[in-house]
Amino acid sequence: MKQLSDLLWEAKADAPPMRYDVDDVVAAGRRRRYRRTATWAVAVAVVVATAGVALVVPRGPAAVPTPPVATSPAPSAVGSFYDYSFRGFSAAGYQVTPDRLLFGVNMAEIYTAGSHDLAGFILVYQPGVEPGKDEGTITDTEPINGHRAYWVGSVLHWEYADGALAVVASGHRGATDEIISRADLRSLATAFVPGGGPSSRVAMRVGYLPAKYRLVTVWELSSGSWVELVPESDIGTPSGLQTPAMSAVNVPGVIRITVMRPDGLPHPKKLTCGGRNRCEVVVGGGYHLAVQGPRVAMAEIEKVAKAVTAVADPGNRDTWLTPGEAFPTSALLTGIK
């Protein structure tokens, strides 16, 4: 089994034209196994598979699972589920930008400062959620900000608060050369400050969803906006995946809504629904809105699509909406503070 950093790096690419679903992408990736042609869609699946998240989200008035007792507070546990658990920051010549909020883990990309060159990743787990087993020898290293730190192969793990873990990993130049040195990975971990992160944002407003669907993934890609919703009845199951061909959560009823930048391919100018339970249409600035639920009734997907409105200018992120502004209250996760 490869290390987390290898899986993430091999999955790096901009999102594909959204006429394809995750299964299409994975099939193509298998045909070109040793090339970096997998998509960010696969990256999400790979990350959650590796994360091994087993967080239970309460449904409605159900009791909130009690987190492990900590001698000091875990700042990432403060705030809405849809707020990032940390802010972007710079250190060691790199810029860290949080951009993905998943079930039990926030993610960020690390760029070489002043460039668009991806150098690595940071994963910040909610308190009580532990990373999955990463291949490699575990080696303790000097504490970071007074908390335990250790290497698993070339990946640095550390506690950013009692009972709360984070991971920082470098990408590669060529087959093996690490872009970020071990010293700089430590510097990035040391500079990390939990808490105070901004709200995630989306490029659409959703007026209708099937009953008891909840928003579990918000992803702010460089190429657009991506969200996923699942039935409430399935949220309490572990979100670890068995294969990268699955979605970001292991739920057959997932609904994915995306607003992606122009890709040069033809897309319908009027809402069109068809194969694979998918609806799509061109929206402002040539962006492409798609609603897809491969295992959801076509009639429901069409109702969702007819009630989705993209922001007027998806290319202007200042106009994007918070999840609370964009989704019915019934679709928002509660109970995680």
3-class secondary structure, 36: coil
For the stretch 237-268, pLDDT in tens is 433 332 222 345 557 899 999 999 999 999 99
Measured between alpha carbons, how far is residue 320 from residues 75, 199, 220 in Å? 26, 11, 10
The whole-number average pLDDT for the span 32-58 is 32
If you ran DSSP here, which 8-state letter would residue 17 be given?
A: P
**Cβ–Cβ < 8 Å for 317, 301:** no
Distance between CA 208 and CA 302 in Å, rounded?
10
- Going by C-alpha positions, the residue among 218, 215, 220 that lies closest to residue 235 is 215
User: Cβ–Cβ contacts within 10 Å for residue 266, how many?
Assistant: 8
Which residues in 216-249 are b (16+ Cβ under 10 Å) and which e? Answer: bbbbbbebbbbbbbbbbebbeeebbbeebbbbbb
| Displacement of CA 142 from its chain's centroid (Å) | 30
The answer for 324, left when phi > 0, alpha when psi is -120 to 50, beta otherwise, is alpha
**Cβ–Cβ < 8 Å for 215, 251:** no
Distance between CA 276 and CA 271 in Å, rounded?
15
The whole-number average pLDDT for the span 194-199 is 94
**Cβ–Cβ < 8 Å for 255, 308:** no
pTM > 0.85: yes or no: no
The token pair at 153 is 């192969």
- Going by C-alpha positions, the residue among 261, 167, 256 that lies closest to residue 218 is 256
- Going by C-alpha positions, the residue among 26, 81, 15, 103 that lies closest to residue 287 is 15
For the stretch 94-153, pLDDT in tens is 999 999 998 788 999 999 999 989 999 999 988 877 776 666 789 999 999 999 999 999
Query: Does position 45 have pLDDT exceeding 70, yes or no?
Result: no
Any idea how long the chain is?
A: 337
For the stretch 150-181, pLDDT in tens is 999 999 999 999 989 999 999 988 767 899 99
The token pair at 187 is 């510097």
